[in-house]
Structures are given as structure tokens and as C-alpha cells.
Structure 1
Amino acid sequence: MTNLKYQHIFFDLDRTLWDFNKNSEASLNLLFRDYQLQSIFGSFLFFKSRYEYHNGKLWNAYYQNRIKKEDLMYRRFYLTLKEAGLDDLDLAKEIANDFIEISPLQTATFPNAHQILEYLKNKGYQLYIITNGFIEVQAKKLKNSKLDSYFLEVITSEDAGANKPTQQIFEYAFNRAGAFAKNSIMIGDDLSTDIAGAKKVKMDQIYFNPHKINHKDEPTFEINNLSEIKRIL
């Protein structure tokens, strides 16, 4: 280990290893079918677009400590239904509970996710997850997609009492891992949370940009496919 510049590698989970968009769409499709929501929304695409709109706004509110976790989980469905003309809190909560059950069962990962984790583990790197997702959901995602065996620790914002990009969650992660910024690197898809947060604690970063989005940030490294990590680590 002493000859490695980086000894501790912190991965984001959603949209970095676990294909959040693909798995979320699969879960929403099941709910759309099971709850016969076509009669309310007309099309799955409309239902999905309105859910994603409300979900995004509520996650931003959660990050700013304006709503609680429990409220986020059901309100995203309540507001989606209400916008389509169905004001039914009980139904929204039922759908929300099903979504929390169904979503972590989906197993789509990004191309080369397992291969690169195997490669890094065999090279002697210490691997960790650092996520803003909820602990009970993230643990199931990791287990069901067979990613859990690669990681020594799964650090969540709930554990740390703070979300990425705050310094608090990264310092908490360092303490849990016995790591320091100088011998660690962060790999994630989000410039405003993963990359900005790592920069705050002076930790190097690998920005995972599979859709080749244009930006003006300057991460330490940038990749479009997880396999490219091999040229860095």
C-alpha cells in the first residue's frame, strides 16, 4: 500500500456505480402498471416527467434542511398525483412505500462497474461508498446489485448528520476510514456535491461524466467510462 499515491477511494453510488436513472424508470414503470395510473396521467412519460420534477425540488429542499426524509418519500408522489387532479394522501403514501421496496431491487449498474471495482480491490486500494442516499435503501441497492462485497464502509449523510458537499460528511468519512485527504480520492458524477465537496477538504477527485456534459469546473481528473479509472489508479 505504501507505494500507492491514493490508498482510500471514495465512490458515490447513485449515477456513478448504480444506474439510478435506469433503475428508477423501471421501478416507476412497475408502479404505473400496478396502480393503473394511465387513467390519471395518460402516458407513462408524463407521469415520469412530473414525478422527476417534484422529486428534484423536494431533494433540494431536503439538502437545505427544509423538509424531513419521511416527508420527501411520500410528498414526491402526493404532489405528482395532485397535479394530475387526484388529491389522495393515502394512495400517495402507499405508492411511496412500494417505490422504496421496489427501487433497491433493481440491479442495473454502469458499464464496467464490477470490473473496475474488482481491479481496484485486487490492486490493494481501500474502497468506500459516500452517499447522500438513505441508509436502508442504499444498503439494499448494494446487496442486490452485488456491489456490497467491494466496500469496507458505506458512509451515508444520515450517519454523518450532513450531506455532500459539506466538509462535515467528508471529515466523518475520513474518520470512519482512518484516511486523510492527501491519500484519498473521490469518484462521483455530480460536480456540485461529489467534486465540490472533495475540493472543500482538499481531496483529489475523478469526475465521472458519462454523458459528456459541458462544464467549466476543473476536477483533478475526468472520465466518461468507469474503465478509464485504470489509467489513473
Structure 2
Amino acid sequence: MTILRKLPRAAGIECIIFAPVQPRNKTDIFFDLDHTIWDFEKNAEETLMELFDTYRFCNLGIHGPDRFIETYNRNNHRLWAMYHHGKISKKELREARFADTFRELGIDPKLFPSSFETDYLRLCPQKTNLFPHSHETLGYLKEKYTLHLISNGFNDAAQVKVVKCDLKKYFNTMVISELVGVHKPHPEIFHYAVKHANTDIAKSVMIGDSLEADIQGAQRVGMDAIYFNPCDATVPEYVTQSIRSLDELTRLF
């Protein structure tokens, strides 16, 4: 692994630029789960659409599910970022995301039915929408490399997702931040995952959609990283390798 140069510190993280991944030097590939393999946005939207009708939210003055889902997604992303940085707890995240959504829509949060959250937590992880080429790509890579998961999601939901989507067969280890006690991009979770996988940093590569959690987090410990960028967002200069579709990995490795 060749370090080319360092970028100035940004948001407290020193970003190190690496040469493109050299597959012949790798034995282990670490994947993020949500937003990289499991299509969080699509699965959440399907669940919220169903529950919006079940709970008759139109009667509360929310005219159609689109605005509700858009507002929820914005609040959920904000609260997950706070959770990743240890600013709120799992309980606070789950309590706030729908309450804040109701409040932003001009509805008293006290009117939000507590059973809605319970139903959402039960139904959403059972959805099986994956990003295109997930199974084909993981099957191909498993024949040549040892695969692992590192997820900032909650353990109970993550376990359901990998079983329902028949993903468990691809991964030798699965590291969940909730169980480790630290979240990506904290270096400790990467060191823990590598040790748990019985490999080392130089032989490993991280693949994920989050520039901060997956790419910068991996780079901070000296691990190569590939940015999963299905929406074709602007790629920062410290990202030396990015893909828009998972099947591109079958040509890289």
C-alpha cells in the first residue's frame, strides 16, 4: 500500500491519500451494509408507505405520504449522524426521528402512535431490496477473498436483514458498532474488525457509501477504501477509487 500524501485536517480527521487498490495484495474485503448492499432508502420508503396508510395519517392533516417520508428521511439522517458521533443514544434516536417529523409537519408529537415505531422496527428489516448485482458480486468475490461486514446499524435489525436477504452465507464475520461500543469512523472498530477477521490492515480493503464513516474511517487506520457512489455524487480528491455499481468490483478484483 503506497501513501501518496496527506491532506490537511478536516472536521478533526486527517485524510490520507492512497494509491488505487492493488487486488493481488488483498485477502479480505470489508463491506458496509446499509446504503451499500441493503438499499435502506428503498426499504424504508416501502415500509413507511404501508404504515402511512395503515395508521391513516391523512386524517391528521398529512396529505399524502411523500412529504411525510421526505421529512422523516431528513430527520433520520440528521439523528443517525448524531448517533454515530456519540451525541445521542439508540433510545433517543428512535424516540426523536418520528416525533421531530411530526413537529416539523406542524402536528403535535404527542399524537404520534407509539405502535407505529414498533411496527416500523419490525417490518423494515424484513424488506429485501438490495442494490443491483449484490448477490452476483458477493458470490464472485467470495470465491477469491474472505468477506466481512462492518455496520453502524443496530444489531437486532442487521441480523434480520442478512438472514432475510440470504446474505449471511457470503460473510465470515459481522461486526456491529452497537456491540463493539464505538462507531465508524472511530479507529477502534476497524482495528477490532481486522483482529476479529484474523487478518491485517495491509491485506484489507473497505467498501462503503459514507465518505466519513467508511472511507475516511478506513484511511485513518491505513486501510485502502473504495467509495460506493451510486448517485454519482462529487468525489473528493482523497478518494482514489470509486464505483457506481457493485458489479464494477468484479472487474477490479
TM-score when normalising by structure 2: 0.86
Cα distance in 2 for partners of 1:217, 1:163 equals 24
- Whether contact under 8 Å (2:85, 2:183) holds in the other structure is no
Measure, in 2, the Cα distance between the counterparts of 1:89 and 1:177.
46
Q: 2:88 aligns with which of 67, 78, 82?
A: 67
- Alignment partners' CA distance in 1, 2:107 and 2:162: 35
Alignment deviations for residues 84-143 of structure 1 (CA, whole Å, 9 cap, x no partner)? 3443548443211111101111101111100011001122x1111101000110111111
Task: Letter of the 2:85 partner, please give it.
Answer: Q
Structure 2 alignment gaps of length 5 or more: 1-22
Deviation (angstroms), 1:50 = 1.3
Superposition RMSD on alpha carbons, in Å?
Answer: 1.6
**Is structure 2 residue 151 aligned with structure 1 residue 131?**
yes
TM-score when normalising by structure 1: 0.93
After the TM superposition, which segments of 4 or more aligned residues of structure 1 sit over 6 Å from their partners?
none
Q: How does 1:54-203 map to 2 (within 5 A)?
A: 54-89=75-110, 91-123=112-144, 125-203=145-223
> In the alignment, what sits opposite 1:24?
44
TM superposition shift of 1:19: 0.8
SS at match of 2:108: coil
Residues 1:174 and 1:89: Cα distance change in structure 2 (over 3 Å): farther
The answer to which structure has the higher helix fraction is 1
What is aligned with 1:50?
A: 71
Q: Do 2:79 and 2:93's aligned partners in 1 also have CA atoms closer than 8 Å?
A: yes
Does the 8 Å contact 2:149/2:171 carry over to 1? yes
Deviation at 1:49, TM superposition (A): 1.4
Aligned length: 230
CA contact (8 A) 1:10 1:129 kept: yes
Task: Give 2:29's aligned residue.
Answer: 9
Query: What residue number does 2:16 align with?
Result: none
Higher relative contact order (CA 8 A, sep 6+): 2
